[in-house]
Amino acid sequence: MHKHGFADELVIGKQLSILGSTMPSDGEFHEAMILFYESKVNAVIDRVYTMDNIQEAHKRMESGDHIGKIVVKISD
């Protein structure tokens, strides 16, 4: 494992691509949702927090140490 949270050589060896966007256009968002619902891409989730741990979730987000999304579970 490397600082990214995955082994770089596996990505390179298998000629995989990692694609991300922070501010997609409407068209890009729509295309991403189609790929997601067709199970052609996976969402990367760093950690899941409950509302009781919202401050910890915020600290994790602010630290910048996460890879993927930080999820806050509102209810069970």
Please give the mean pLDDT across all residues of the chain: 82
Alpha-helical regions (H) of the chain = 8-13, 26-37, 54-63
Number of domains in the chain: 2
Q: Are residues 28 and 48 in the same domain?
A: no
**23/51 Cα distance (integer angstroms):** 26
Are 16 and 51 part of one and the same domain? no
Residue range of the domain that includes 56 = 43-76
Judgement on whether residues 18 and 35 belong to the same structural domain of the protein: yes
Contact in structure between 37 and 31 (CB atoms under 8 Å): no
Q: Are residues 10 and 31 in the same domain?
A: yes
Same domain, 31 and 53: no
Q: How far apart are CA 16 and CA 53, in angstroms?
A: 35
Q: What is the pTM of this model?
A: 0.56
Indicate if 72 and 55 belong to the same structural domain.
yes
pLDDT (tens digit per residue) in 32-56 = 889 889 988 888 899 999 999 999 9
Summarised one tens digit per residue, pLDDT across range 56-69 is: 999 999 998 888 88
